[in-house]
Every structure is written in structure tokens, then in C-alpha cells.
Structure 1
Amino acid sequence: MLTERMEAKRMSQQMDWYLQEVERYEELGFLRKKTLMEELDIIAQRFPHHLAVVEGNRRLTYEELLQEIEQLSTGFLSLGWQQGDRVLMQLPNTIEFITVLFSLLKIGVQPVLMLPSHREVEIDTVAKMVQPIAYICCSSYLGFQYECMAAQVIPQHKSIRYIVTVGESTIQWPASYTHVTVDQLKERNYSLAISASPHYRDTALYLLSGGTTGIPKIIPKIHEAYAYNAFASAEKCGMTPETAYMAVLSISHDYPLCSPGILGTLFTGGKVVLCQTSSFDEAFHEIEKEQVTHTAIVPTIASLWLEAFEWYEDLNMSSLEVVLIGAAHIEQEMAVQFMNTFHCKIQQGYGLGEGITCFTALNDPVEIVTSCQGQAISIGDEIKIIDELGREVPQGQLGELVAKGPYTFGGYYQASALNAEIFTKDYFLRTGDKARITSDGNIQIVGRVREQINRAGENVIPSEIESFLRTQPMIKDAAVVGLPDKDLGESICAFIVTDGQRMERDEICSYLFHIGVAPYKLPDRIIYVERLPFINVGKVDKKKLKQMAMESEASMH
């Protein structure tokens, strides 16, 4: 009981300071005191006949989108759902993602955005944490049976009483569950009025953190702050009512959802084009068909698109103006080749679902675009680089990036102990990223604060070695991790992807040495892999790489 009271007190203190921050940003004019649904209503009144969303041959104008949202929201109300209820929403890039999302936002039901790639473990873990009343999914999609998976997990969670599917059910659910399809909800002729709309300071939705701890961290996003994130990102990326944004990454991620993503596009009156996958075959045809102007990808996808371009030279992709690159650093050679091949601009970005979002400027020279992550999207953002003791370091020096601004969140869901660690005393969010601020004010991310390798007392930043390795013509990609070593403390292990060729470790070290890499930074071990494992949007799963290295070493003894 004492522990519960202490937890409640910490939660209350946390919300007190966050509310004060929100009020301050309202007074400064950054936050518009509107919900996400209200922002969509405003733009739909201006452009009712503009195309809002396209998925294959399906097309909705803004007026038609609002009609679908209205039908679905009354359908959800007819189930007895209420403001503050939480639901797990696991939908792919379909029109239903958008209509379901906004219908929930309209009535104040809070979706937890699960990724299409999540499976039983993630569903089970998140359900235990948030106690949802419902699970929303496709019956099946791209060959995977989501409803069958749900049937294995849902019975373990008594809070879940409703199953909502896109598509006809493939499961005979017990009578204790209410199962309904999205189409059935839209067909219900209820004339239910929403008793009270959600407040613009209420939690709109929950994102899942892209961390690698294995335990999801749940990120609450409030309406007006998340709307501001979308508006500010859209402005930074030059979006207008003529923008056609193509979503190839899962829109359950913050990056393609709101940075500026589909929300930034919709709130400026543009057109959202939804792709099932990031496959060049699908994406290239959509660029031509829908006259796509903007898209967001990661470096690995950029590399694949470059390789495939010559097979599709007959397609007209001249509409493409801006490609956003995020989640990982893009090398200068690849960026220049991409811009020359697709005749577009690249904006490199950096962001966290928890807060800060940065992009290089549309008029930045290629040297800036490829060497840093640009500047924060809002003049209300405050950025500092601090040392281990929390002291701000001189410009140009490395330290931890901390930030706060109009769209920074107030802490993870039900994690007061963790929240006490991730904010400084003056409420700056600790990003955990090692960075510097350049002489022209741009942010340059060099790695994770705790990711650096301590090899025989020398600190080595993996991303630096990865960049050097990728300059070797035979090496297509590389990832570097630190491994426990009884003599060195940590040794340097490089995972390398090639087209099949192999070099000995001595050859690789000789190459690195001759281009100026210090001897203590040379890899102690080389492991060749067909491809690097990834988590979330293009981030290398270094936890898995370390596990692979340890297993490989164990098998040798």
C-alpha cells in the first residue's frame, strides 16, 4: 500500500510540471488548443473535394473521409466504448488505419499503436501494461493471420472484451467476446451523439518506444502537442495542399505517422498515398501514378531503390521532390547518387517519439545534408549538449543531447521510476544520444551515449568505424558492436555485408589504417552476414548482433 501511494505521488508530481509546460507553450502560441480530430475537421472544411487518401484503387476525398470517420465513431460508441478506454490497434498501411484512428480520436478512446511486425510476445506484454478493452486488427494481411494470433493471446487478458477486424472473421470467438467487423460498424444506423469530446490536453494515442531493452516503453501523446509536431514538421519539409506524400514505412511508427508523415500531410490539405510495403516495384509505380512529391525512407531502402532504378527507367518519377531519410545516417556518396538518380532533394532527419524532431533544411548544401541531422523543427525547441555531470559543454564538443519543446512528452506510461531518470532537473529530456552542435547550429548525432566501446581504456564510437568501413568498395553495409574481453575490457567486432566477396581481417584493418583510422579503433574480429538484423524503422538490432557474436564464439570452443 505504501509503495502504491509513493507511485501515485510521483505520478502526480510528474503531471504537475508537465501541465505547467503545456500551459506555457499554449501562452507562447505554439499549441493551438485543438484536438487532432478538430484539426482534420478544419482542413476538411477548406478542401472538401481534395483527395485525402489513396490506397491502390481506393480513393477518399476529405469530405468522404469525414463521413467514414463519423460512421465508424458512432459504431464504436454503439459498443459502449467510452472516453479514456484503451484499445490495441494493429493495422497495416490501409485506409482503415486512418479511418479507425480518427474515429477513436474523435470519441476519446485511446489507441495503442502496435506494429504489423509485432507478434504474440509484444501483444501479450503491452496488453498486460495498458489493460485494453479491445484488439483491432486485419483478419489477415500479406499472408499473416492476425486474428489467429490474437486467438492465442487474447484469452490471457480479461480486460479485452471486444475483437474488431478488417475483413471477415476467420475465428469462432466464444460468446464472452463481442466480435464485429469494421464494415459492420459502418453499416449500423445509430444516431448516437458524442456526450463530450476529448480535451485537447488529453492523451490522444500511445506510441511504442523504439528501444532495444525488450520491454516496450509506452509513449503517451497529447492531442495539441502531437498536432503541433505534425504542423511544424510539415512546414520544415515544405508541405502544401499540393503535396502527395507516399507512406512506405509502417504508419504505426512516429516517423511516417507524424514527422511529418500522414498527419502532417492531412493537416496541410495534401494527399496521402499508402503502400503495402517499401518494395521498389510498388513504390516506383505509385510515384508515377499518383505524382508523389514526398516520401520518407531509411538508408537501407534508399540503397535498394538505387540498385533497382535502372530496371524502371521507363517510369516517369519526375514528380518526386523531397525524400526524407531517417532512423540511421546516410553516407554522402549514397546521398549524392540518390539525388542525382531521382532528381530530388534529400532531408536527413532525427527524432524520437518522446520529443525532439530535426531535419536538415531544403536549401542546405549536400555537405550539410550528409554530415548532420539539421536543426529542430520548432523555434520553441531548446537544445543542449551536456557532459556526465549535467554541465553544458562548449559548442562543437561531444556530449549527451538533451531537449525540450512544445511537443516533448511528459513521461512514459506508468513508469515513474524511469521517468525520474530520463528528465534533467530543469525538465530537459535525456535522449541518450551522443551528439555535438556544429558551428552553423546543426545537430550531429554520432551514436548512443552508452553505445561507445571501451577498448583498453580508449573510447570508440561504433558509428564512426561503420562509416569508415562503408567506404571500402566491397563492403555494402557494416555494423560494429563491443564484446566482453578479459584482456581489453571490450573488443571491437564488425559485422560486414558484401556481395559475396570476403577479405581477411588483416586486409580490412590495413585498408582502415591507410585511410587514417587510429590503430585502437581497428576491428578485433570480423563476421560476415548476408544482411543486418533491424528493429523498428531501419535501426540495426545490435543486441541481436552481440548475441550472434557470442554464440559464434561459443561454437568455436
Structure 2
Amino acid sequence: MSIAYTPWPAEIAASYREKGYWTDVPMTDILIRHQSERAEHRALICGERSWTYRQLELDAARLADSLLQLGVKPGDTALVHLPNVAEFYIVFFALMKLGVVPVNALFSHNRHELSAYAGQIQPTLAVVSSRHSLFADNEYPQALSQQYPSLQHWLVDGETSDEAPLGHSLAAAIKGELTATHIVSDNTVSGSTTHGHNDALRSWPELDASEVAFFQLSGGSTGTPKLIPRTHNDYYYSVRASAEICLLDRDSVFLCALPVPHNFTLSSPGALGVFYAGGTVVLAPEPSPMTCFPLIKRHQVTMTSLVPPAVTLWLQAAADDGSELASLQFLQVGGARLGESLARRIQPELGCQLQQVFGMAEGLVNYTRFDDSEWHVLNTQGRPISEDDEIRIVDENGQDVPRGTPGALLTRGPYTFRGYYNSPEHNQTAFDQDGFYRSGDVVVMTDDGYLMVVGRDKDQINRGGEKVAAEEIENQLLALPEITQAALVAMPDPVMGEKSCAFIVTTNPKLKTIAIRKHLRACGIADYKLPDRIETVDAMPMTHVGKIDKKALRQQIADQVHAQLQPQPEKDVLS
């Protein structure tokens, strides 16, 4: 069984194949292509552990074999929730071998997000880490399995309680030696099972590259997280083209410091681009300079990717000692707009070239090129990957605006999807009648085709690269009986770019911020989505059509923040 998705029109799909964008080769090819001359080259480093291309492919094959023995089959779906560990990639390639379609949740996601994803895909398998508080015991896994009877199998990375095992050990499954109890859908615990490794690994199902390989996560503005079906054909093209634009080769060493499931770190060109080129991926648990600088020196890292707030921290740390960055050739910055003043500091202070990246999990990716002028690198977010990336920039009436004029970005192309998963009503507004995706970004296009990001026209906060949907948090705030109105808006922040401010109208003047945060945490909201600031108002400003005037609220909080950042005059001291 294949996953249903909105296809490209047949005539357009045929042109993408004719032009070589779509090769009808599945993404399992990324590892398989290195199994001869590059088999013993180091592919992946995670802490003190490392894998050659041969070992990485073998571990993925063993895990796929174990999953088949458990009863996981092609066409099933999986919920994957892992931190920055090598096992993420082993699971990713193993599931692709089987034709199992995963959602790769961010490790910062919590019960609210994971339950929403499970509700949409009805997974057969969950792959989780005991390092997350949700999986420290059986309570949430049992509840999820009970709510979604399709969820029959659990693999757990890390140590679990002997009294309450969550499921099979992921490490044992990768070795082909499963011996564990596991949760089943009726909330009982099954007996112990053992699967020995089959040295003659089976042949895998023949994959159709036009089918869905996995789901990406939308950073959209609606209350329910939307899923983006990415096919082998469209995603593999984006990976190959990105690797070519970024001049990756077998000597490329990529430090993955941002979360591994992000589209940025997965394919722009990310780990998949480096694997495609035959280079080496080094994993960092988080992007702080204290963690990353020693890894760059130790492994002679040549490239990495950051969001602007992390760049600020790196610049501060490099001012004390940047000698560990000598091997770094270029730094990609994306996820949020990079200010020109910060961009200008990267080359002289970090000693590497800047590459700006503006992309989206839905498809379109833009890069500055290494031979671009200094002005383009410092002031724009690049130009699209493909000549067939079609761009429209329109006004509020949907009419094209002249170049140099801000407008809403619409796009379609050989790696931009055609519809969110199982969301027909939302797709009616997310796409125009010609199949152009409304990205929600406000951009300016230069005369030579480069994009400059101005802001967002969707109701969304970009908190240092992490997208927070206002509607999602507002709905949770309104679940408190004391809150009668709620509006979440972006407020400026010198480090994160944007933070969130919740304006509320309440019947309880004694309602404390700590109680509101406690409520949101109890809802299972990821910490980065919690409002950074909460303002109580007597009444909300309203538009002429009776909606909360968020433009006025954004201006109000921006004025407050600006006033607070101004230096205070010294008080006169009377002698």
C-alpha cells in the first residue's frame, strides 16, 4: 500500500523527468552508491563511535531485517523521535529500504505534537529515545498505543526501566538480536521474543521513486501540525542539486549541530548531501560553541549550518579563541533572516566564507553561491536551486508586483510539494488555482533573481529558526476558563530575532504567569513554544471587521521592548 499524496500534473512530471530532475532512483541509492570504492571511507561520527559507508549500510539493512521479522511491512508508517544520534540515520535508511514512511519529529517536541502526528499517520511503529521524559516510563506509550491500535511495535534507543520496559531495544534490533518485551495495542505486555540476525540479508521491496519516502514537518500557522509528503524523486533531486551547488566532495566534513530532522540539516545540503558526495557527517548534540568548537578541531570539519542566534554565540566565543575553527571553509546560515551587520562579521571573525540559505520543508531552497558578489552574500538569501523553480511575488490581491517591491512569495517546481497530507480544506488556501504554493513569506526579488526575505504574512513567530504557530498556542491558552481572549504575536529580540508575546484578557486579575506556563506544559507543549512574555490587557484592539488587530499588538510590544532597551538617563545625585 502506498501513501496517498497530491501528485504533480502528468505533463509537468514528464518534463521534470525529461530534464533529468527526476531519475526514478530511490534515495536508498545514497548509501548503496558508495559500497564499492568508498565502502571503507568514514561516513558518520557520533561521539566516540564511527561508521564506514559499509557499516552504515549494513546496520540499516540489519535493522530493516529486524523490522520485517517483527511484522512491519511496506506501506506502514512510523513515528520517529530521536535526538542528534547516529541511530537517526540508521533508522531513516532502514525504513526507506522497507518502504515504511516515517514522520521524523523534533526531539524538542512533546506529547501534544507527537499525539497530533500519530493521529494523522496512524503509525505501526514508534522509534523513540529513553532520554526524553515522555519515554522514561510506560505511561505515555501505553496511552498512545491505546488511542491508536495500529501502533503495535516500539523500538527504544537507550536504557529503560527493567520494571517497565517500553519495547524492543533499538541497539539490539540494529544488531539483529531482538530479546525484549514490548507494548502491544491492548495495553498488555507480550512475552519475550528473540530474533537472530540473518547473515544473508534478504532482498528489499522494489521501491517506486514516485512514491512518498517520508513526511516533513510544516512550520505553518495553523493549530494542527501539517505533514508534507516528500517523494524519492523530488527530494533526491534537491539533495543532489544542493550537493553540487555547495561543491561537496569526498573530503567534505559536515558538523550537524542543529536538530537532525530539520530540512536544513537533512538536505540543504545537510547530511544527505554529504552522504551523497561520499563525505563525513559529524554529529553534535547541540550548537553551542563550547560543544562545537572542539569537534571542528578534532575532526577537521569543513562546513556547518546555523541559525542566526547561534551565529551570535559563535562570534562571541571566537573573539576569545577562534583557533579551533581553522579547518572551517564555509558556514551556512538559514532558518531566519540574517542581518547584514551580523553577516559582515562572519568572514573576518570566524575565518570562513558565509553562505546564506533560505528554504522551506515544503520544497523551494535558495542559496548564495560561492562566486557571488559580497553584496549578494551579505544582503540576500540567495537564488533558487533550479531553473524550473517558478517564483511569483504578489500583492494582497494576488497581482504580481514589480521587482524590488515586497510581496507574498508563491512557488512551484520540481521539488516543491503539491499538497499537505490528508488536508484538502487547508490545501485550498495553501495553493492557488495553478498549483503555486503560498509560502507565507514576504520577499523582495532583485533584478538578477535573488530573494531578500522581509518577513512573514502568516500568523507565525520565527523564534530563532523554530516556527511557533500562533493559533496552536492561542487555543491552549483559551482552554483556561479564566482567559476569555488570547493573541500570540512576535516581538523583536536582539539575539533570537523574534520571541513570542501572549496578550490575554482574563476574568481573574490575580492570574499569574507561572500558572499559565504550568497549564501549557501540562498540555504537552514543547518548551520553545511557551510564550516568552505574557501581557494582560483590559481589551484587545480590533480591526474594522471585528478581528483582533495583531498588527497593533505587534507594534505595541515592539514599542515596549524598544523603550526597555534604551539606556536610562543617570539620576542626579544631590550632595
TM range (shorter): 0.7 to 0.9
Render the CA deviation track for 1:241-287: whole Å, top value 9, x for unaligned: 11101100111111111111100110011110111111211100010
- The residue identity in structure 2 corresponding to 1:299 is P
Select 1:503's aligned residue among 562, 566, 569. 566
Select 1:485's aligned residue among 541, 544, 555. 541
Select 1:130's aligned residue among 107, 121, 125. 121
Kindly state the Cα deviation for residue 324 of structure 1 after the two structures are TM-superposed: 0.7
Residues 1:386 and 1:486: Cα distance change in structure 2 (over 3 Å)? closer
Kindly state the Cα deviation for residue 481 of structure 1 after the two structures are TM-superposed: 7.8
Work out whether residues 215 and 227 of structure 2, in 8 Å CA contact, stay in contact via their aligned partners in 1: yes
Partner of 1:396: 404
The answer to whether structure 1 residue 272 and structure 2 residue 281 are counterparts is yes
Partner of 1:512: none
Partner of 1:331: 339
Distance 2:344 2:290 in 1: 22
Residues 1:223 and 1:171: Cα distance change in structure 2 (over 3 Å)? farther
Distance 1:56 1:496 in 2: 46
Select 1:241's aligned residue among 229, 245, 250. 250
Partner of 1:528: none
Partner of 2:172: 183
Residues 1:84 and 1:360: Cα distance change in structure 2 (over 3 Å)? same
- The residue identity in structure 2 corresponding to 1:119 is N
The answer to whether structure 1 residue 309 and structure 2 residue 318 are counterparts is yes
Mean CA deviation greater in 148-157 or 401-410: 148-157
Work out whether residues 309 and 496 of structure 2, in 8 Å CA contact, stay in contact via their aligned partners in 1: no
SS at match of 1:88: strand
Partner of 1:351: 359
Partner of 1:64: 55
Distance 1:151 1:308 in 2: 44
Residues 1:155 and 1:487: Cα distance change in structure 2 (over 3 Å)? closer
Kindly state the Cα deviation for residue 100 of structure 1 after the two structures are TM-superposed: 1.0
SS at match of 2:44: strand
Stretches of structure 2 that go unaligned for 5 or more consecutive residues are 177-195, 461-488, 504-539, 571-575
Kindly state the Cα deviation for residue 219 of structure 1 after the two structures are TM-superposed: 0.7
The answer to whether structure 1 residue 417 and structure 2 residue 425 are counterparts is yes
RMSD of the alignment, in Å? Answer: 3.2
TM-score (norm 2): 0.76
Kindly state the Cα deviation for residue 92 of structure 1 after the two structures are TM-superposed: 1.1
Residues 1:381 and 1:198: Cα distance change in structure 2 (over 3 Å)? same
Work out whether residues 91 and 97 of structure 1, in 8 Å CA contact, stay in contact via their aligned partners in 2: yes
Distance 2:332 2:567 in 1: 36
Mean CA deviation greater in 289-298 or 372-381: 372-381
Select 1:165's aligned residue among 156, 160, 166. 156
Distance 1:374 1:168 in 2: 44
Kindly state the Cα deviation for residue 422 of structure 1 after the two structures are TM-superposed: 1.7
Distance 2:420 2:569 in 1: 46
- Map 1:196-207 → 2, pairs under 5 A: 196-207=205-216
Distance 2:7 2:147 in 1: 35
Work out whether residues 128 and 135 of structure 2, in 8 Å CA contact, stay in contact via their aligned partners in 1: no
Work out whether residues 479 and 495 of structure 1, in 8 Å CA contact, stay in contact via their aligned partners in 2: no
Partner of 2:464: none
Select 1:37's aligned residue among 16, 28, 42. 28
Kindly state the Cα deviation for residue 344 of structure 1 after the two structures are TM-superposed: 0.6
- The residue identity in structure 2 corresponding to 1:277 is E
Work out whether residues 482 and 493 of structure 1, in 8 Å CA contact, stay in contact via their aligned partners in 2: no
Kindly state the Cα deviation for residue 390 of structure 1 after the two structures are TM-superposed: 2.8
SS at match of 2:28: helix
Partner of 1:513: none
Select 1:299's aligned residue among 301, 304, 308. 308
Mean CA deviation greater in 358-367 or 147-156: 147-156
The answer to whether structure 1 residue 47 and structure 2 residue 38 are counterparts is yes
Kindly state the Cα deviation for residue 292 of structure 1 after the two structures are TM-superposed: 0.6
Select 2:82's aligned residue among 84, 88, 91. 91
Residues 1:349 and 1:50: Cα distance change in structure 2 (over 3 Å)? same
Distance 2:360 2:378 in 1: 20
Distance 2:174 2:248 in 1: 34
Work out whether residues 441 and 455 of structure 2, in 8 Å CA contact, stay in contact via their aligned partners in 1: yes
Stretches of structure 1 that go unaligned for 5 or more consecutive residues are 1-10, 453-461, 508-557
Render the CA deviation track for 1:186-221: whole Å, top value 9, x for unaligned: 233235624622211111111111124331000111
- The residue identity in structure 2 corresponding to 1:157 is Y
Distance 1:260 1:420 in 2: 31
Render the CA deviation track for 1:409-447: whole Å, top value 9, x for unaligned: 121110112122222222121111111211222111111
Q: Which structure has more RCO (C-alpha within 8 Å, separation ≥ 6)?
A: 2
SS at match of 1:160: coil
The structure with more helix, counted as a fraction of residues: 1
Residues 1:478 and 1:206: Cα distance change in structure 2 (over 3 Å)? closer
Work out whether residues 271 and 281 of structure 2, in 8 Å CA contact, stay in contact via their aligned partners in 1: yes
Work out whether residues 331 and 354 of structure 2, in 8 Å CA contact, stay in contact via their aligned partners in 1: yes
Residues 1:132 and 1:477: Cα distance change in structure 2 (over 3 Å)? closer
Partner of 1:534: none
SS at match of 2:298: helix
Kindly tell me the number of residue pairs found equivalent between the two proteins: 477
- The residue identity in structure 2 corresponding to 1:442 is Y
SS at match of 2:361: coil
SS at match of 2:324: coil
The answer to whether structure 1 residue 104 and structure 2 residue 70 are counterparts is no
Kindly state the Cα deviation for residue 361 of structure 1 after the two structures are TM-superposed: 1.3
